[in-house]
Amino acid sequence: MPNIKSAKKRVLVTETKAMQNKAAKSAVKTSLKKFDAAVAEGNRSEADSAYKVAVQAMDKAAAKGLFHKNKAAHTKSQLTIKLNSVQG
């Protein structure tokens, strides 16, 4: 346990930021799962809207530093390939 006031504050700030990062990553994963569900269903219009949400979420996460920019680019590429495979 830290004794210095600034170290105590650092612990609190770190915990808060960790929770925010965890929530943001979880939101990204949820949007990706919704997209995958729409693709599995074969619903093109639903997949289109879920695709836009998922890509935007990945971009924001990469900008915040939650994911590496290349991971975001790779994920978006894979989403595009899945979207193009949907007939409808």
DSSP 8-state secondary structure symbol assigned to residue 66: S
What span, in angstroms and rounded, lies between the C-alpha atoms of 41 and 59?
Answer: 25
Task: Return the domain boundaries, the chain.
Answer: 5-85
Quick: pLDDT tens for 51-77: 999 999 999 999 999 999 999 999 999
Does 88 have pLDDT greater than 80? no
**What's the mean pLDDT when you consider all of the chain?**
95
Does 87 have pLDDT greater than 90? no
Selected from 1.10.274.10, 1.20.58.110, 2.160.10.10, 3.30.360.10, the CATH number assigned to the domain covering 5-85 reads 1.20.58.110
The pTM assigned to this predicted structure is 0.86
Contact (CB, 8 A) for 35 and 44:
no
Q: Which of 27, 26, 2, 25 is nearest to 14 (CA)?
A: 2
Query: Is residue 1 very low, low, confident or very high in pLDDT (cuts 50, 70, 90)?
Result: confident
